[in-house]
């Protein structure tokens, strides 16, 4: 289950601690961490946060149990489970409360979804064998990924049509976060098998790899263009990072052996998770 959780993350209340994170060529930035744990769960993963502070993610009951999506505001947890399948994971939420993520369908495959106004809708281009929805902005544009006979591609849905996003020369592409300006974070595989990241402005892909990272996974992006990351170091440890105004700040929740940066809002808050030494996943919210 731990390996499964790591793959899900990189595709991929509570005590506070303070951790100072730095990149070699940047000033110090202080992150204040707070653990987020769904009551009664055996593990919690936080993937997205709105400007109102509403968090979304997923939790599970035991090592063999189903995964449940959730929405969390001021300590109140609401389950978000797509009725058409099992193992629902929520990744992002916009200011209107619309949530995107994916669930496992009756064929045992991932299926992207949109939860809006109390109703679930499947998300994914026609002809896709499977799909994931990872990001949504306030206009309702959705970013994600899908597989077809030619491989894995990113997509953008603007409410009317799907556009395929493929980084030139990449072996596979995943579109992750999207902000109100239409900037999209993209993870992609290069010819050597390394995972790299770019930001797509609708015309070109610009690399935004974390300095010194073996693999870079750009996830959430806010309306200022700040990016939350997961990245791996030379020892294979997963760590978090923030890109703000073109500068990189690396962080690690001291309570975990791996840390994952996932969502970000406009109020200087990053969310994600960490794995404990016993293999339990916990969510976090960090102000900076």
Question: Per-residue confidence of the chain (288 residues) as pLDDT tens digits?
Answer: 443 443 344 344 222 222 233 344 445 899 999 999 999 999 999 999 999 999 999 999 876 688 999 999 998 999 999 999 999 999 999 999 999 999 999 999 999 999 999 999 999 999 999 999 999 999 999 999 999 999 999 999 999 999 999 999 999 999 999 999 999 999 999 999 999 999 999 999 999 999 999 999 999 999 999 999 999 999 999 999 999 999 999 999 999 999 999 999 999 999 999 999 999 999 999 999
CATH code where residue 57 lies? 2.120.10.30
Quick one: tokens of 229? Answer: 């990351």
Quick one: tokens of 55? Answer: 């968090």
Distance CA 173, CA 17 (A): 36
- Per the CB < 8 A criterion, the answer to whether 71 and 93 are in contact is yes
- Per the CB < 8 A criterion, the answer to whether 83 and 120 are in contact is yes
Quick one: tokens of 41? Answer: 């769960």
Backbone angles phi, psi at 262, to 5 degrees: -125, -65
The residue segments making up the domain with residue 238 are 2-287
Instruction: With CA atoms as reference, report the closest residue to 183 among 146, 137, 144, 215.
Output: 137
Q: What is the domain count for the chain?
A: 1
Instruction: With CA atoms as reference, report the closest residue to 135 among 180, 104, 171.
Output: 180
């Amino acid at each position: 289950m731990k390996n499964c959780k790591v793959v899900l993350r990189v595709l991929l209340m509570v005590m506070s601690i303070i951790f100072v994170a730095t990149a070699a060529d940047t000033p110090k930035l202080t992150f204040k961490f707070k653990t987020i744990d769904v009551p009664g769960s055996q593990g919690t993963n936080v993937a997205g946060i709105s400007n109102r502070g509403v968090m979304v993610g997923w939790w599970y009951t035991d090592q063999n149990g189903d995964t449940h999506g959730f929405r969390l505001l001021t300590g109140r947890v609401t389950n978000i489970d797509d009725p058409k399948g099992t193992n629902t994971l929520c990744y992002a939420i916009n200011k209107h409360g619309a949530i995107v993520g994916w669930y496992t369908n009756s064929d045992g495959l991932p299926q992207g979804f949109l939860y809006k106004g109390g109703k679930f809708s499947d998300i994914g281009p026609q002809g896709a064998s499977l799909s994931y929805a990872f990001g949504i902005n306030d206009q309702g544009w959705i970013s994600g990924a899908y597989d077809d006979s030619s491989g894995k591609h990113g997509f953008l849905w603007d409410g009317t049509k799907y556009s395929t996003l493929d980084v030139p020369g990449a072996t596979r592409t995943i579109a992750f976060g999207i902000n109100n300006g239409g900037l999209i974070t993209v993870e992609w595989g290069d010819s050597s098998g390394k995972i790299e990241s770019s930001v797509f402005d609708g015309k070109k892909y610009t690399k935004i790899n974390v300095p010194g990272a073996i693999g870079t996974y750009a996830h959430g992006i806010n309306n200022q263009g700040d990016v939350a990351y997961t990245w791996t170091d030379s020892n294979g440890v997963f760590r978090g990072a923030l890109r703000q105004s073109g500068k990189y700040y690396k962080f690690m929740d001291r309570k975990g052996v791996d840390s994952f940066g996932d969502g970000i809002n406009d109020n200087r808050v990053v969310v994600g998770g960490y794995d404990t030494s016993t293999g339990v996943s916990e969510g976090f919210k960090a102000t900076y």
